[in-house]
Amino acid sequence: MSDRTEISSLGEFGLIEHLTKNIELQNASSIVGVGDDAAVIDHFGKQSVISSDMLVEGVHFDLMYTPLKHLGYKSVVVNVSDIYAMNATPTQIILNIAISNRFSVEAVDEFYSGVYAACGNYGVDLVGGDTSSSQKGFIISITAIGEIAPDKYVKRSTAKKGDLICVSGDLGGAYIGLLFLEREKKIYLENPNIQPDLESESYVIGRLLKPEARKDIIEFLEKQNIVPTSMMDISDGLSSEILHICKESDLGCRIYEEKLPIAEEMRTAAYKFQIDPTACALSGGEDYELLFTISQADYDKITLSEDISVVGYMTEKEKATHIITKGESTYLITAQGWNAFKKRDQ
């Protein structure tokens, strides 16, 4: 980077103006955007859906291998993903950041370029937020707002016994991508002259650094007139999320190992770390795929999408939460996943 502009040279209000001056509101529902005490949103008879996430440097991301533009993009994706997971359409975001003085205006611009790229792709307006300093590191808090026709939202607690469990895309890639980047970071810290060669791992690394929210799946479901009986996004790993749906819906489940969607690139990469790809698919987080249940009557329609896998079905609560392996063994699903597989007592 050729120039470095200190944030202090703009001041707080100058920085906000610099970062937001080119915003053009895309949604008719965005009545008042950045620049007042609050944003005003008109949902024209629809209901609002609101979600918020915080991303903390050193906890949720490592700037040593996360380009700021990707970080900005992902910060938006993580939040609109929650809105899609309610079967709603994201319309606005509010972005708070806190930054230490090690960041320049150019660095913040990079981050915002990713934010605006995601806003464009998902059709959401940035309508407000707060910019402040931190004692250490970069902290991001995004609130996403969406809209939905009254009472058409889909919760986690409404799955029914016998419903099919569906997963979009493939799982575990982001986790393996993280393992590669952490390994390369360690090598680099030990010897800064070694250049990493991650070209062949671009798929899994892309899964971590450039996730997309599954807007297309929500559109497919709507087109096919399928209303999921329950839904959530997969941020913490399939095991953890299906346990949420089971607990909230007061049901059990059976998931089949052979049905888990695993990309060939992820499988190959997992073997390099001598890790079971199934374990990654079950417990690796940050894929931002959708997990949802549908009525069995919708099975034929679901098969029209190559990007949705039926991985099991919901059972009564007494049958607990199980995974059936390829060798036909039955294990309890635990939120800790692959490093805590526990043989069923039977």
Beta strands per DSSP E along 57-121:
89-99
Q: Considering beta carbons, is residue 84 or 220 the nearer one to a second copy?
A: 84
Shortest Å distance, C-beta 274 to a second copy: 28
Q: Considering beta carbons, is residue 138 or 341 the nearer one to a second copy?
A: 138
> Under 8 Å CB-to-CB from 7, ≥6 apart: which residues?
15, 99, 101, 103, 104, 105, 108
- 329 in Cβ contact with 239 (< 8 Å): no
Does an H or E element contain 17, and which? helix 11-20
In sequence order, what DSSP letters do the residues of 147-192 get, joined into one string? EESTT----STT--TTPEEEEES--SHHHHHHHHHHHHHHHHHH-T
> Under 8 Å CB-to-CB from 218, ≥6 apart: which residues?
84, 87, 89, 290
Q: Which two tokens stand for residue 266?
A: 């992820």
Q: Considering beta carbons, is residue 137 or 196 the nearer one to a second copy?
A: 137
Shortest Å distance, C-beta 263 to a second copy: 24
Q: Which two tokens stand for residue 119?
A: 């806003």
Shortest Å distance, C-beta 18 to a second copy: 16
Shortest Å distance, C-beta 81 to a second copy: 8
Q: Considering beta carbons, is residue 275 or 291 the nearer one to a second copy?
A: 291
CA dihedral 134, 209, 78, 308 (to 10 degrees): -170
Closest CA to 279 of 262, 296, 300, 292: 262
Shortest Å distance, C-beta 196 to a second copy: 25
Q: Considering beta carbons, is residue 233 or 287 the nearer one to a second copy?
A: 233
Relative orientation angle of helices 173-190 and 202-209, to the nearest 10 degrees: 100
Shortest Å distance, C-beta 203 to a second copy: 26
Q: Considering beta carbons, is residue 140 or 281 the nearer one to a second copy?
A: 140
Can you tell me the distance from the alpha carbon of 118 to that of 142, in angstroms, rounded to the nearest whole number?
A: 13
Shortest Å distance, C-beta 83 to a second copy: 6
Q: Considering beta carbons, is residue 153 or 331 the nearer one to a second copy?
A: 153
Q: Considering beta carbons, is residue 56 or 320 the nearer one to a second copy?
A: 56
Can you tell me the distance from the alpha carbon of 174 to that of 152, in angstroms, rounded to the nearest whole number?
A: 31
Shortest Å distance, C-beta 141 to a second copy: 4
Compute and round to an integer the Cα radius of gyration of the chain. 21
In the block, residue with structure tokens 């888990």: 260
Closest CA to 9 of 95, 102, 104, 97: 104
Binding site for a second copy (CB under 8 A): 31-32, 35-43, 45, 47-54, 56-60, 82-83, 85-86, 88, 92, 94, 96-98, 127-130, 132-137, 139, 141, 143-146, 148, 150-151, 153, 155-157, 231-233, 248
User: SS3 of 54, please?
Assistant: strand
